[in-house]
Structure 1
Amino acid sequence: MINGAIIGTGKIAVTGHMPAYLSTNIQDKVKIAACADTHKESRNNFTKQFPDIPVYTSLDEVLRNHTLDFADICVPPIYHTDYIEKSAAYNLNILCEKPFTSSSEDAEDLKELLLKTGKAFVPCHQYRYSPVWRKFKEMINENTGKWILQFNICRLQADSGFNPDNPSWRTDRSISGGGILADTGVHYIYLTTWMLGKPLSVTARTYAIKSKSYSVEDTAIVNIECENGISQINLTWSADKRANSALLVNESASLYYNGKTLEKNCKGKSEKIYVPDASDKTTYITQYVRLIEDFVACIQENQNCEAWINEACNSVKILNTAYESADSNRTLRLY
């Protein structure tokens, strides 16, 4: 049995990570021995739902009372660097929520640190396990040529968290690092490079369309040129309803996603493919289950997951370059 501790007992820990750890696929492999959170109310809320798991005020306190194999970092992004460094100092394997960290400089420093430790590190890039995006990846792998990839992500507002002191931390730049681009956009940044390969340049624009009360953008449009095509990521917290859609096209094939079904056109044949609703809770948790299964395999096989570390670092670099592009109104080269 692999023993771990969750650091940060907020919404993502309660609604995403814990249901995954308690799933039939994971519960015989991993035990969450303890948790830690600096907020008393968050600790109490977590204990009400998971009374058998002790909750402490710090990782140091957890380690004084438990022997751990890994730390699962679920705190807001601004705190990731500190907890990654501390977990590495304790020689722990690490699972960490996205984005990896806030600055490109920290990302490079952490990359160097994690590669030296020899321990497993996996970022929560769980969208790679979505049946929808795996169909997109499959289409690219099965056909030649360069691609046009587009993601359209609409939300009514920024999601609120469980932090009693600052439930709206996602719209607090000092904690989140940005608005919808940092919060949701990073998922589609790593999906872009996973599908289209090495990123070459970024052109981005950010807007405050609906809410002037946010100190961050509520809407972003990002174009990423990659070695195997171009991706456009359209994001907003200012929609009238929650919706997802996407397309993947080139001169010989196409794939369209309308939020419920995929329409595949390839070699003169059309096919409708029904996929799980990306917003369904079961689908959401299943993605974490698959991610944690791979994380467990990395621990068992003594892998430090260099590809995951590079992807985490690159996603932060692209994210920050996108913000620089928006601020300067220029296209910026990445490499």
Structure 2
Amino acid sequence: MINVALCGLRHLHPDGYMALFAQVPEMRVVAASEADELRRREFAAKFGVPVYTTYQEALEKHDVQLAAIFLPHAECPEAVEFAAAAGAHVLVEKPMAADAAGIGRMIAACERAGVVLTTPYLWRYHQMSREIKRLVTDGVVGEVIALEGRMAAGKPVRYQQASPWMLEKKKSGGGAMHNLGVHWIDLFRWLLEDEVVSAYGDIRIITPGIDVEDQSFALLTFSRGARAYLDISYTVPASYPHGRDLFVGIRGTAGTIAWSPAFEGAADEMFLSSEKKEYKDAPWRRYAFDNLVVPGYCGILGVSYLRDLAESLTAGRPPVIPGREGLKALQVVEAVYQSAALGRPVSLS
């Protein structure tokens, strides 16, 4: 059995993760920690687990094999260092830290301690993502030349009660690009099996009283020449279905893919057009998946990730998504921010 401690509860996702952990028989949550007294009482009453004031106390009082970190991003590196030194494997909610240097500290600490560091980039587990990766890998759209990713989530007010630190740059590291853009950055890197070599960014603060961007754009160049355009924001009205406006597009020398994911919805459809000869009799196709509906953050995607993680920890294998993947995504975000400040493209070393 893998005993889990949740470190930090002033975040939008810990409650959703409790529903996910409940569906993975190899894992059980034995403790949590949170500095805010009201949140501690609410969580303990809802889930029936002991909640401590500090993660140090939670990890010292319980035999914990996995620490799941949901702290303000600037606090995550120190928490990971403590958990790793205590012998616990570590899951850190993306984007993992306020800056790439913080993730570097995490990687070093976990390597010293011989424990696993992982981050849940759950879009890799979507069945449509996997079908798109198969199509790209098999060359159905030819050489990929352009990608488009839109992720517009609810307005900043959604953070003001549950996790106000998300709107403070010193604690969070950044806004929409930092918190949401990493999803599509990671997905595109994974789909292409390629790395970003340059970034151009443009960011704006629309909502008064916050110091992180709520509207951001980026143009990324991959090493093999593909370009990716990102439109990432906290601008969706409360009336929008599931609170997310999502789109993934891929254009290649022989075809096109278009997908508007249904966030935490069941039915997903993707459009494909291809000029490959095996598609000549039906060059336009639609792929449909009805995802299994289960409770918890990101539903079956989150459950699948935790099942994979439990299996890898039990077998002593590396995780499917190691911490270094989070580092690479955040390095791209930092290049976007640097570009926006300088007004020119920035190269990634």
**After TM superposition, is the score higher than 0.5?**
yes
Q: State the alpha-carbon separation in 2 of the partners of residues 280 and 218 from structure 1.
A: 30
CA distance in 1, matches of 2:165, 2:291: 27
Alpha-carbon contact 1:6-1:13 (below 8 Å) kept: no
Aligned length: 328
**Pairing 1:1-335 to 2, within 5 Å after superposition:** 1-23=1-23, 26=24, 28-51=25-48, 53-143=49-139, 144-158=142-156, 160-161=158-159, 167-196=163-192, 197-208=194-205, 210-228=206-224, 229-240=226-237, 241=240, 242-259=244-261, 260-266=268-274, 267=276, 268=280, 269-275=283-289, 284-305=298-319, 308-335=322-349
CA contact (8 A) 1:42 1:162 kept: no
In 2, Cα distance between the equivalents of 1:195 and 1:254?
14
CA contact (8 A) 1:147 1:230 kept: yes
The alignment partner of 1:91 has SS state of: coil
Instruction: Say if 1:328 and 1:162 are closer, same or farther in 2 by CA, change over 3 A.
Output: closer
Report the Cα offset of residue 120 of structure 1.
Answer: 1.5
Compute the displacement of 1:97 (Å).
0.5
CA distance in 1, matches of 2:211, 2:292: 29
Aligned-partner SS, 1:119: coil
Checking the alignment, whether the CA contact within 8 Å between 2:103 and 2:323 is kept in structure 1 is: no
For the residue of structure 1 that corresponds to 2:98, the secondary structure is coil
Structure-2 separation of matches of 1:70 and 1:190 = 23
What fraction of aligned residue pairs are identical, expressed as a percent?
18
Deviation at 1:74, TM superposition (A): 1.2
C-alpha displacement at 1:48, in angstroms?
A: 2.2
In the TM superposition, residue 108 of structure 1 has moved relative to its aligned partner by 2.4
**Partners of 2:174 and 2:213 within 8 A in 1:** yes
Which shows bigger deviation, 124-133 or 238-247? 238-247
State the Cα distance separating 1:276 from its structure 2 match: 5.1
Output the CA distance in 1 between the equivalents of 2:83 and 2:215.
34
Q: CA RMSD in A?
A: 2.4
After TM superposition, give the deviation of residue 277 of structure 1 in Å.
8.2
Deviation at 1:131, TM superposition (A): 2.5
Change in CA separation of 1:293 and 1:206 when aligned onto 2, cut-off 3 Å: same
Report deviation, 1:274.
Answer: 2.3
Change (3 A) 1:174 1:318: same
- 8 Å CA contact 1:211, 1:218 repeated in 2: yes
Unpaired stretches in structure 1, ≥5 consecutive residues: none
Seen in structure 2, the aligned counterparts of structure 1 residues 47 and 91 have a Cα distance that, compared at 3 Å, is same
Where 1:124 maps in the other structure, the secondary structure is coil
Q: Give the C-alpha shift of residue 289 in structure 1.
A: 1.0
TM-score after normalising by structure 2: 0.86
Match for residue 264 of structure 2? none
Residue 115 of structure 1 contacts residue 306 of structure 1 at CA under 8 Å; is this kept in 2? no
TM superposition shift of 1:113: 2.7
Q: Match of 1:203, as an amino acid?
A: Y
SS at match of 2:235: coil
Distance in structure 2 (CA, Å) of the matches to 1:43 and 1:109: 28
